Amino acid sequence: MNKRIVALIAVFIASLIYAINYTIAKEVMPLHIKPFAFIFLRVAGATIFFWTIGLFIKQQKIEKEDYKKILLAAFFGTALNMLTFFKGLSLTTPISASVIMVTSPIMVLIFSSILIKKPIERQQVLGILIGLIGAILLITYGNSNTGNAINSNLGNFLVFINAASYGLYLVLAKNLIVKYHPIVFVKWLYLFGLIFVIPFSYNELIEVSWQTIPIKMYWNIGYVVLFTSCITYLFNLYGLSKLKPTTVSIFIYLQPVLTTIYALIVGSDSLNLVKVSATIVIFFGVYLVTKKAKIRITS
């Protein structure tokens, strides 16, 4: 089979895994395991996985000054990012959470402008404003009648913080990802992230009643730890090795669609006018942000 086709399939599967994760993780939280305890399991599992994989690749020494950069990237890309995401998901619905996550490209542009002085064009400024309006609309008025949405407003806001944190992480980690082997980088990223996560997760972790958790929920936990945290990374890594980064990034827009389809099939969420309207507004804003501006020819 053509390597490009295989790469496209791999990236699609990764997007599908992410999309299903919203509903799978939601079934576990907060009834069986609280969000911060769940994040400990996820980060600890990923840390063990990638340090084990790291034994089979060529060793690469991390420069001393880069440990601080990885530590900062781990805080925003693992700790704050995951803690706010799972806490927010436990309070809101899968569809709302997946839509808000699409604002990540907007946040990347904002932080790139602030930290590395990347110029923002007029069209992109308009896209940022439109995208943020869509996010605010969903956060403020995206309440759901679905019973598993405890506090949609707060949950949606926390997922937005997660998207912003992940956007900042991508800017901070850009040079590190190029400098080091991906597995070497990510194993240190998760290890430092685990150190940040432990203080927040300890109390919730000791509250877990493991013997009362249904077998199905253990499968859900395994799915999140193994597939969402580890397999998706490897699939996306393979995709990036065969495809353009822009091609891979397009698949993030598939996630809300796939999440919505799966959530509606299993009955874990429902659609309403606000969700649909906010989704359209956010997607239009992201389109303006990511669309390449036309080159002006002056005579």
Instruction: Look at the pTM and tell me if it is higher than 0.75.
Output: yes
Distance between CA 12 and CA 175 in Å, rounded? 26
Distance between CA 270 and CA 149 in Å, rounded? 11
Q: What is the phi/psi pair of residue 221, to 5°?
A: -60, -45
Distance between CA 257 and CA 38 in Å, rounded? 25
Name which residue leads in pLDDT, 84 or 267.
Answer: 84
And the tokens for 182? 């991906």
Distance between CA 269 and CA 284 in Å, rounded? 23
And the tokens for 137? 């609309």
Q: What is the pLDDT of residues 136-184, one digit of tens each?
A: 887 777 665 555 666 778 888 999 999 889 888 888 888 888 889 889 9
Contacts of 12 (CB under 8 A, 6+ apart): 251, 254
Please compute, for residue 140, the number of CA atoms within 13 A of its CA located in the half-sphere on the CB side: 8
Least confident of 8-12, 196-200, 281-285: 281-285
Distance between CA 89 and CA 84 in Å, rounded? 8
Q: What is the pLDDT of residues 27-78, one digit of tens each?
A: 998 889 999 999 999 999 999 999 999 999 888 899 999 999 999 999 998 9
What is the mean pLDDT of the segment spanning 217-231? 93
Residue 261 has pLDDT above 70, yes or no: yes
What is the mean pLDDT of the segment spanning 94-109? 81
What is the mean pLDDT of the segment spanning 83-105? 86
User: Which residue in 81, 10, 46, 5 sits closest to 251, CA to CA?
Assistant: 10
Distance between CA 29 and CA 26 in Å, rounded? 5
